[in-house]
Amino acid sequence: MLDRASTFADEELTGILRDEFVPVALDVWYEQRRQDEVGEFYRSVVFQREGTTPERTTQGLYIFTADGELRRGWNNRGVNAVKPRVLEELRRLREEEPAVDVPALDGPVDARLDRTVPEGSAVVDVYTRILDADWPATEDTLDRTFQRAVGRDHLWILRDEIDALARGTVPSTLARRLARFHLVDGTRGEPPMWWRDHLEVCSISLVEENGASRLRGRVVARTGDDTRAGSFDLFGVIEIEDGVLARFDVVALGTFRGEGRWTGGAPPGEFTLGVAFRLSDPDDVAARVPPQAARDLDEYLSAP
């Protein structure tokens, strides 16, 4: 999040990355685990960075050549930490002959970690934002950036669930998937999801209103130890044309409290959390990125 709002908001740096590099964005969780040629190549690059081990995360930024020579790897972010490194390394690389031929990594893909969008499914962008909170007063730029942060994710709606929506019903798998894995506070990092027994209320339905299919719902979730809780009302407009989901504009608006292991720094007490859903642009490369909760694919799809 910080990278999007700070590092890659710098026009000069983004221009250099566009024009001088081949930029790649990856989820460490998959790349570090996958047992195939691409995974081997990933590990061969990142483990050249001093201090990295298989037991530790390889999260960071890396500059390397096509034949796999790591030139720089680091995990200090913010534009002032990144741009000087990129510029310096680029100067050095310009004085060298680049690798011109590398073998394709076209062996079998590790199917256990393949997260291709299921055939016939729709991909929905999910955005999360804290709309109102009793934040401690601060003049720190990074703190204020965090307070305005937007969480991103994707929701998959399966073919048979689209068919059910066309018949005017919200299938329980979709309702529970949306509630358990997407009504979470992902504004500061990887959020903890709701477990199946955390859902106290999950009621989402469609009603016809003025010729449009309106989504209405209510979701209440709470952890067993009551350290994290959310209570949401949902509103939306759904359109299906010739069996294709053409519009999925939904807002979940509610109160939330608590944080997770990787989402520390939540506002104190209850705060207002908004979650917006809309169909992804199929031409956007980000639409291929799987939902965060799809790491456990069966759990995500079946949403018990």
Partner 1 sequence: MTIAALAVGLVTLVTGTDLGEARFLELHAEIAPDEEETWRTIPWRTDLGAARVEAARLGRPLFLWAMNGHPLGCT
One of 113, 183, 275, 279 touching partner 1 (CB under 8 A): 275
255 Cα distance to chain centroid:
21
Q: Do 192 and 261 touch, CB atoms closer than 8 A? A: yes
Please report where in the chains the tokens 């959020």 appear, as a residue.
191
Among 42, 146, 156, 248, binds partner 1 (CB under 8 A): 42
CB of 116 to partner 1, least distance (A): 12
Report in angstroms how near the CB of residue 277 gets to partner 1 at its nearest. 9
Among 152, 163, 270, 299, binds partner 1 (CB under 8 A): 152
Q: Which two tokens stand for residue 131?
A: 């709309």
Nearest distance, CB of residue 181 and partner 1, angstroms = 10
Is the CB of 90 or the CB of 160 nearer to partner 1? 90
Rounded-to-integer distance, Cα 89 and Cα 222, Å: 49
Considering the rule CB under 8 A, would residue 111 count as an interface residue with partner 1?
no
Contacts with partner 1 in 156-185 (CB under 8 A)? none
Min CB(207)–partner 1 separation in Å:
5
Q: Considering the rule CB under 8 A, would residue 100 count as an interface residue with partner 1?
A: yes
Count the site residues for partner 1 by CB under 8 A: 94
Verify binding: residue 279, partner 1, rule CB under 8 A.
no
CA nearest neighbour of 17 among 83, 70, 74: 83
- Sole binder of partner 1 in the list 81, 89, 223, 299 (CB under 8 A): 89
Q: In what order do the strands lie in the sheet with 244-257?
A: 150-157, 122-132, 271-279, 244-257, 229-241, 212-222, 199-209
State which residue, 61 or 163, has the beta carbon closest to partner 1: 61
- Cα–Cα distance list, 80 to 3, 86, 98 (Å): 11, 11, 27
- The span of 16-24, 133-141, 170-178, 239-247 binding partner 1 (CB under 8 A) equals 16-24
- Candidates 33, 41, 247, 297; binder of partner 1 (CB under 8 A) is 41
Nearer to partner 1 by C-beta: 167 or 224?
167
Concatenated DSSP letters of 165-227: HHTT---HHHHHHHHHHHSS--SSSSPPPPPGGGEEEEEEEEEEETTEEEEEEEEEEE-TTSS
Q: Is 235 in the site for partner 1 (CB under 8 A)?
A: yes
Contact between 267 and partner 1 (CB under 8 A)?
no
The closest of 147, 128, 153 to 252, measured between CA atoms, is 128
Assess 230 for contact with partner 1 (CB under 8 A): no
Q: b/e map of 112-121 (b: 16 or more CB within 10 Å)? A: ebebebeeeb
